[in-house]
Amino acid sequence: MGDHGPAKGFGRWLFTTNHKDIGSMYLWFSFAMFLMGGVFALVIRAELFQPGLQLVEPEFFNQMTTMHGLVMVFGAVMPAFVGLANWMIPMMVGAPDMALPRMNNWSFWILPFAFTLLASTLLMEGGGPNFGWTFYAPLSTTYAPPSVTYFIFAVHIMGASSIMGSINIIATILNMRAPGMTLMKMPLFVWTWLITAYLLIAVMPVLAGCVTMMLMDIHFGTSFFSAAGGGDPVLFQHVFWFFGHPEVYIMILPAFGIVSAIIPTFARKPLFGYASMVYATASIAFLSFIVWAHHMFTVGMPIAGELFFMYATMLIAVPTGVKVFNWVSTMFRGSMTFETPMLFAIAFVILFTIGGFSGLMLSIAPADFQYHDTYFVVAHFHYVLVPGAVFSIFAAVYYWLPKWCGNMYDERLGKAHFWLSFVGLNLTFFPMHFVGLAGMPRRIPDYALQFADFNQIASMGAFLFGFSQVFFLFIVIKTIRGGEKATDAVWDNPEGLEWTVASPAPYHTFTTPPPVK
């Protein structure tokens, strides 16, 4: 092989099998989707700025809520984490590349097709998917617009991409670690991704099964989800949430790993309770399989089922609490500085915990009869996904960008981006708790007058948050194009193999395994 650089031109990206190139492509793709999903969200917030219908018709509004959810979950958050895994996991475990580099290329390149297909449904007759990102049958089958078939195909492709990505990550972690890198020495980001990859392999086929059953109902005369033909619309929800609940952990476990890398660096103190972090992650992953029906407390389950899912859901608070306590203890008596990645990580801990609190409230089945399908739920999952998943991705980008491109980002701009995002996000999502409790259902294009004030605030916050992300794009491009040169360690004595290679990281790293202490 020898040492060679990247190929020239577009072919470099099309044919690349290099984990760093593929990681970059995933990240850029994810950011593009983040902006697209963000535009959909802003359409929603613009319509909800005032009571009454001003900008869009309810039909289109429903397409926006659906596409916003699908694009953010499958297009923005998941690919961003896969991109980070591609970049960082080989460098963190001392491997030269991913275990299955050709498949790696393939699992990325089918994604743009999937999302082009999905987005194209908006231009089709009858409009795009309008049944919510949870696509409950029979609204998504018997009553769906014709474009639903394209949606199903797109979901299949995304699923295939995720499964291939996960196989690759598992194979890399289990087979390609440098000698001496035992499992319990792996950085937490590697651990959380290992567990996430198993979750993905377990549940993506369930999602594929779910949409295939829809396809059969729509085109081949079966009645899986149609009561008129002897089927069961509630079955849909069980199958969907058996996928859907682990899915939400798929979007947060890697974030736990990122934050567990960043906090020790800027507290200048080793991570508190490494082993308990690993065990907590594994427990959360296990519990994620037995709590799905807490999304369905109002479908009329027997009380035994209701109680089981309530207790199991409450239990998740324990390992999640352990994680938060560990992060706080890592900061405790450290020697802290507050660079941009640390700011995002701290905001993550605080705001994710708030999302956790509302999650605990939602787990109480009798109270959930009042919360379910209101804006309280919308507030809850945006608190765990935006300052949770999305902030952790921002933190990761600021933390590792100097290693990727060899230049330091501008700290002043980074902090400005943080504060704008922080204020914007809280303005957007905090009021949603209130309107939800006061009785505003989710997924409505127009609302009663008493919800007007808070909705107005939320809409203003959303635009602030949205435009801050364009600013983020500017910061990243500016950093890639130039700036103060980063040292190899970048930060003050950070832990991990990735900091032992040059900045920017050479095209090929660890072609011979590094020594592991």
Closest approach of other proteins to the CB of residue 82, in Å: 30
SS3 track for 102-150: HHHHHHHHHHHHHHHHHHHHHHCCCCCCCCCCCCCCCCCCCCCCCCHHH
**Contact call for residue 489 and other proteins (CB under 8 A):** no
Q: What angle do CA 67, 71, 76 make, to 5 degrees?
A: 160
| Cβ proximity to other proteins, 120 vs 370, nearer residue | 370
19 catalytic, yes or no?
no
Backbone torsions φ then ψ of 292, nearest 5 degrees: -55, -35
Give the number of residues written for the chain: 517
| Cβ proximity to other proteins, 142 vs 222, nearer residue | 142
| Cβ proximity to other proteins, 1 vs 275, nearer residue | 275
**Contact call for residue 250 and other proteins (CB under 8 A):** no
Q: With contact defined as beta carbons under 8 Å apart, do 83 and 166 qualify? A: no
Q: State which of positions 290-329 bind other proteins (CB under 8 A).
A: 298-300, 303, 306-307, 310-311, 314-315, 317-318, 321-322, 324-325, 328-329
**Contact call for residue 151 and other proteins (CB under 8 A):** no
| Cβ proximity to other proteins, 335 vs 512, nearer residue | 335
CA distance 97 to 53: 53
140 catalytic, yes or no?
no
Q: Residue 370: is it exposed, middle or buried by C-beta count within 10 angstroms (0-12/13-18/19+)?
A: exposed
443 catalytic, yes or no?
no
**Contact call for residue 349 and other proteins (CB under 8 A):** yes
Which is catalytic among the residues 109, 133, 136, 198? 133
Closest CA to 251 of 434, 78, 429: 78
**Contact call for residue 269 and other proteins (CB under 8 A):** yes
CB atoms within 10 A of CB 54: 12
380 catalytic, yes or no?
no
Q: State which of positions 127-146 bind other proteins (CB under 8 A).
A: 130-132, 136, 138-139, 142-143
| Cβ proximity to other proteins, 180 vs 270, nearer residue | 270
**Contact call for residue 387 and other proteins (CB under 8 A):** no
162 catalytic, yes or no?
yes
User: Which residues neighbour 109 within 8 Å (Cβ) at sequence distance 6 or greater?
Assistant: 14
Coil, helix or strand at residue 441: strand
Closest approach of other proteins to the CB of residue 306, in Å: 6
**Contact call for residue 54 and other proteins (CB under 8 A):** yes
**Contact call for residue 353 and other proteins (CB under 8 A):** yes
12 catalytic, yes or no?
no
Which is catalytic among the residues 107, 192, 260, 288? 260
249 catalytic, yes or no?
yes
User: Which residues neighbour 477 within 8 Å (Cβ) at sequence distance 6 or greater?
Assistant: none
Closest CA to 279 of 243, 247, 326, 313: 326
**Contact call for residue 273 and other proteins (CB under 8 A):** yes
**Contact call for residue 346 and other proteins (CB under 8 A):** yes
219 catalytic, yes or no?
no
**Contact call for residue 48 and other proteins (CB under 8 A):** no
**Contact call for residue 364 and other proteins (CB under 8 A):** yes
Coil, helix or strand at residue 41: helix
4 catalytic, yes or no?
no
Q: State which of positions 431-460 bind other proteins (CB under 8 A).
A: 434-435, 437-439, 441-451, 453-454
417 catalytic, yes or no?
no
245 catalytic, yes or no?
yes
SS3 track for 362-429: HHCHHHHHHHCCEHHHHHHHHHHHHHHHHHHHHHHHHHHHHHHHCECCCHHHHHHHHHHHHHHHHHHH
- Which pair of structure tokens corresponds to residue 236? 């849909």
Which is catalytic among the residues 16, 161, 288, 428? 161
Active site residues: 68, 97, 133, 161-162, 245, 247, 249, 260, 294-295, 320, 323, 442
